[in-house]
Amino acid sequence: MKLTGLGVSPGIGIGRALVVTRGIRSLRFRIPDRRIDAELERLDAARGRSREQIRQIKERIAAALGGDHAYLFDAQLLMLDDPMLVDRAAAIVRDERLNAESALQRALDEVSALFDRMDDPYLRERKGDVADVVGRLCTNLASGGDPADLFRDVEGPLVLVSDELSPSLIAQLDFQRLAGFVTDAGSWTYHTAILARSIHVPAVAGVRNASGAVAPGALLAVDGSSGEVLVDPPADVLRELEARSQKRRAYEQSFDEYGALPAVTMDGTPIRIEANVELPEEAVRARQRGAEGIGLYRSEFLLAGTGAAGLDEDAQYRVYRRLLEAMAGGRVTVRTFDVSEAQLGLSHPGDGEPSRTPLGLRGLRLSLSFDDVFQAQLRALLRAAVHGSLRVMFPFVTGVEELRAARAAVTQARESLRARGMSVPDVPIGIMIEVPSAALTIDLLASEADFVSIGTNDLIQYTLAVDRTDDRVSRMYEPLHPAILRVLRQVAKGAGRRGVPVSVCGEMAADPVLVPLLTGLGLREFSMSPAAIPVVKQVVRGIRIADTVRLATRALKAATAADVEKVLADSLATVK
Ligand code: PEP
Ligand code: MG
C-alpha cells in the first residue's frame, strides 16, 4: 500500500508504525512476545479499577437520585465482564500482540458494529455505554501518560503515525529511535516541521487518515522528499530504498568539509553563517557544522519540553548559560518567547476567552502584557550574559513603541539584578522583522535597535496574507513573490544605511538556491538549521558579489514569482 502527502522534512526513514492519536491519549503499537503476560495483567488490573470506580459511582447516584438512576451502572458493570469486551481484547493482545489500548479499541469497534445492526433503538443506544466503559478502561490503563515513556515497550526504529503532531510531543521523545513522522493533518505548523528537520527525521504530512489506515506495527518507509509512505513494502523495494537513503546520506556528508571552511565569496566578502537552534543540545552540533554563532535560539521550545517549569528564572538561566558556553565565545542570539497566549498556558488578566488567532496576543506583545513572565526571562538572560557573547532579540515587533517598551523592560530587569548585588554587562538588543509594519518602518526601528533579523517565515505569510498552515492556500506561500524581494531589499538598505547589522533567520536563508539572490539584495548574515550550513557555505564560496547584484537587479524587475524563478534558473550556471 502507498500513501501520499506533503514531504515536510526530507530524507528516507524506515521503521515500525506507532500510532498516536488525540494528543497521546490513544497509542496503538505492537508489543514483543515477552510482554504479552504483563499486558494481560495490565488489562485485568484496569478492569478491576474500573469495576471499583463504577461501583462507587453507582452508590453515589443511588444516594443522590435514587436506585432507579443507578441501574445504568449495573449495565456497565455487566459490560465489564461481557466476553465480547475485555475478554475479547485479551484474546487480541495474545493472538495479535497488540497493546491493550489497541485491543480494546478493536473490541469496541466489533461490538459497535453489532449494535449498529440491531433494530431495537433502545439497544442501539447502549453503544454509547460500551464506549463509556472502554474510555474508562483506557484511562485506567494509562501509566501516567508521560510522552517520554512513549517508546518504552516498543522495539526497533519507529515511525510515529499521528492525527496531528505538536512540537511539545516531539520535543519529549527519544530522537534516536525515531525513523519518521506521518501525520493526517494537512500541513504542519512551522515549529513542528522545523523541529523535525532539525533532528533530521523524515516527515510526511497531510496523509489523510493515515492514523486510521496504518496498522500498529506495520513496516513503513517514509520518503520526506517525495511525500510518499510505503506500507509493508516488498523486500526488493525496501533494499532499494535503503540504498537510496545511504546514497543521500553520503551526498550530504560530501558537503561536510565545507562546514569547517570560512564563508567568504570568491571576491573576498565575508558572509556570516549562524545556526538556528531549538534545543540547547543542538548547539554543539551547530558548531561542528561550521556555525559562527547561534543566530536564533527559539526560547519558546523551553516551554514545549517542560511546560510552565520552563518559565522559572533559574531554569532559564541554566539553559542560556549552557548555550553560551557551548558556543565558546561565539555569539548567541536568544529570541524571547514567541508564543500565543494558549501556548504559554496562562490567561491574560481581565480577559475572558483568550485570543487564538496568530494575529492576537503573541510574541513581544504577549511578553509585554505578562510582566512577571517577561521580567523572569530578561533577568535570566542578563544573568547568563556574563558567560559569553549574548544578544537579546524580540519577536513579532510591529513598531517603535513596542521596541521602546521592551527596552524599558530590559532596564527594569537590569535594575532588579543590581538590587540583588549583581553587575550585568551591556547586551545588544535587537528585533525580528517579520511583520510588514516593521519592514516598512525599518529606518525608524533601525535607529533604536542594535541589530535586526528578518524572519522570512512570518514576513512572507503576513505580507502575502497566506496562512501557511492552511493547506488550501499554502501553495500561495511564495518566497519569490516580487513583494517579498522588494521588502527584503528595503530592510537590507534601511538597516545598512544606519549601520545596523541585519541578518536573515527564516527558512529562506537555508535554501542554497536563494542565497545568491539574498546576497545580491545586500544581505550578509544568515542563520539556518545546522544541517543546511555546509551546503550554504559551499554556495557562498562559489559566488561573486557583483554577479549576485546583477542577479538581484534582474529578479527585482520580474513581475511574478515564476518569472523570478526563471531568472534564478537562468543564472545558476553563470553565478557559479
Ligand atoms: C520567522 O518567522 O521567519 C522566524 C524565524 O520565526 P519562526 O519561524 O519561529 O516564526
Ligand atoms: Mg516568526
For residue 350, the CA-to-ligand 2 centroid distance in Å is: 27
Q: Whose Cα sits closest to atom 4 in ligand 1?
A: 455
Q: Whose Cα sits closest to atom 3 in ligand 1?
A: 455
Phi-psi group of 199: left, alpha or beta (phi > 0 → left; psi -120 to 50 → alpha; rest → beta): alpha
Ligand nearest to the CA of 299: 1
pLDDT at 464 over 90: yes
Among 69, 138, 191, 200, the one annotated catalytic: 191
Position 307 scores a pLDDT of: 64
Q: Burial-class residue 444 by CB neighbours within 10 Å (0-12, 13-18, 19+).
A: middle
Predicted confidence (pLDDT) per residue in 490-517, tens digit: 999 999 999 999 999 999 999 999 999 9
Average pLDDT, integer, range 556-563: 96
- Angle separating helix axes 121-141 and 36-65, nearest 10 degrees: 120
Q: Is the dihedral of CA 207, 208, 214, 216 positive or negative?
A: positive
pLDDT at 144 over 80: no
Average pLDDT, integer, range 461-482: 86
Is residue 157 within 8 Å of residue 14, measured between CB atoms? yes
> Higher pLDDT residue, 177 or 450?
450
Average pLDDT, integer, range 192-221: 87
- How many of the other CB atoms lie within 10 Å of CB of 52? 11
Predicted confidence (pLDDT) per residue in 393-431, tens digit: 999 999 999 999 999 999 999 999 999 999 899 999 999
Residue 505 a catalytic site member: yes
Q: Which amino acid is at 389?
A: S
What is the pLDDT confidence band of residue 75, given thresholds at 50, 70 and 90?
confident
For residue 190, the CA-to-ligand 2 centroid distance in Å is: 9
Q: Which single residue is written with the C-alpha cell 498556558? A: 345
For residue 298, the CA-to-ligand 1 centroid distance in Å is: 9
What is the pLDDT confidence band of residue 360, given thresholds at 50, 70 and 90?
confident
Q: Is the minimum distance from the CB of 282 to ligand 1 under 6 angstroms?
A: no
Number of residues that make up the chain = 576
Report how far apart, in Å, the C-alpha atoms of 210 and of each of 135, 185, 203, 421 are.
22, 9, 13, 57
Is residue 61 within 8 Å of residue 128, measured between CB atoms? no
What is the pLDDT confidence band of residue 348, given thresholds at 50, 70 and 90?
very low
What is the pLDDT confidence band of residue 451, given thresholds at 50, 70 and 90?
very high
Which three-class secondary structure string do you get for 73-141? HHHHHHHHCCHHHHHHHHHHHHHHCECHHHHHHHHHHHHHHHHHCCCCHHHHHHHHHHHHHHHHHHHHH
Beta strands 272-277; 228-231: pairing state: unpaired
Residues with CB under 5 A from ligand 2 (ion): 434, 455, 458
What is the pLDDT confidence band of residue 168, given thresholds at 50, 70 and 90?
low
Mean pLDDT check: name the lowest of 90-94, 136-140, 546-550: 136-140
Cα 522 to its chain centre, rounded Å, is 30
Average pLDDT, integer, range 30-57: 90
What is the pLDDT confidence band of residue 186, given thresholds at 50, 70 and 90?
low
Is residue 322 within 8 Å of residue 280, measured between CB atoms? yes
pLDDT at 479 over 80: yes
Q: Which of 8, 298, 301, 433 to mutate to test the pocket of ligand 1 (most atoms within 8 A of CB)?
A: 298
Position 171 scores a pLDDT of: 67
For residue 235, the CA-to-ligand 2 centroid distance in Å is: 43
For residue 118, the CA-to-ligand 2 centroid distance in Å is: 54
Q: Is the minimum distance from the CB of 136 to ligand 1 under 6 angstroms?
A: no
Position 576 scores a pLDDT of: 43
pLDDT at 463 over 90: yes
Position 356 scores a pLDDT of: 45
Q: Which atom of ligand 1 is nearest to the CA of 507?
A: 3
At residue 298's C-alpha, the angle toward residues 297 and 300, to 5°, is 140
| Distance from the first to the final alpha carbon of the chain | 43
Q: Whose Cα sits closest to atom 1 in ligand 1?
A: 455
pLDDT at 224 over 50: yes
Among 138, 200, 481, 505, the one annotated catalytic: 505
Ligand nearest to the CA of 296: 1
What is the pLDDT confidence band of residue 190, given thresholds at 50, 70 and 90?
low
Compute the distance between CA of residue 316 and CA of residue 331 in angstroms, rounded to an integer. 18
What is the pLDDT confidence band of residue 352, given thresholds at 50, 70 and 90?
very low
Q: Burial-class residue 53 by CB neighbours within 10 Å (0-12, 13-18, 19+).
A: middle
Q: Is the minimum distance from the CB of 175 to ligand 1 under 6 angstroms?
A: no
> Higher pLDDT residue, 216 or 354?
216
- Angle separating helix axes 400-419 and 371-384, nearest 10 degrees: 70
- How many of the other CB atoms lie within 10 Å of CB of 30? 20
pLDDT at 322 over 80: yes
Q: Whose Cα sits closest to atom 6 in ligand 1?
A: 455
Q: Is the minimum distance from the CB of 115 to ligand 1 under 6 angstroms?
A: no
Position 351 scores a pLDDT of: 44
Work out the mean pLDDT of the chain and round it to a whole number. Answer: 88
Residue 191 a catalytic site member: yes
For residue 436, the CA-to-ligand 1 centroid distance in Å is: 14
Average pLDDT, integer, range 48-72: 81
- Angle separating helix axes 36-65 and 88-96, nearest 10 degrees: 160
> Higher pLDDT residue, 414 or 117?
414
List of E strands, 441-483 = 451-454
Q: Which atom of ligand 1 is nearest to the CA of 298?
A: 9
Q: Is the minimum distance from the CB of 454 to ligand 1 under 6 angstroms?
A: no
User: What are 380's three cell numbers?
Assistant: 535570566
Q: Is the minimum distance from the CB of 391 to ligand 1 under 6 angstroms?
A: no
Predicted confidence (pLDDT) per residue in 119-129, tens digit: 777 777 677 78
Strand-pair partners of 274: 527
Q: Which atom of ligand 1 is nearest to the CA of 338?
A: 9
Q: Which residues contact 472 (CB under 8 A, 6 or more apart)?
A: none
Q: Burial-class residue 203 by CB neighbours within 10 Å (0-12, 13-18, 19+).
A: buried
Q: Which of 188, 457, 477, 491 to mutate to test the pocket of ligand 1 (most atoms within 8 A of CB)?
A: 457
Compute the distance between CA of residue 332 and CA of residue 451 in angstroms, rounded to an integer. 13
Burial 112-128 (b: 16+ CB within 10 A, else e): eeebeeeeeeeeeebbe
Is residue 202 within 8 Å of residue 13, measured between CB atoms? yes
Q: Which of 188, 189, 190, 359 to mutate to test the pocket of ligand 1 (most atoms within 8 A of CB)?
A: 190
Q: Is the minimum distance from the CB of 506 to ligand 1 under 6 angstroms?
A: yes
Position 378 scores a pLDDT of: 98
Q: Is the minimum distance from the CB of 505 to ligand 1 under 6 angstroms?
A: yes
Compute the distance between CA of residue 563 and CA of residue 233 in angstroms, rounded to an integer. 41
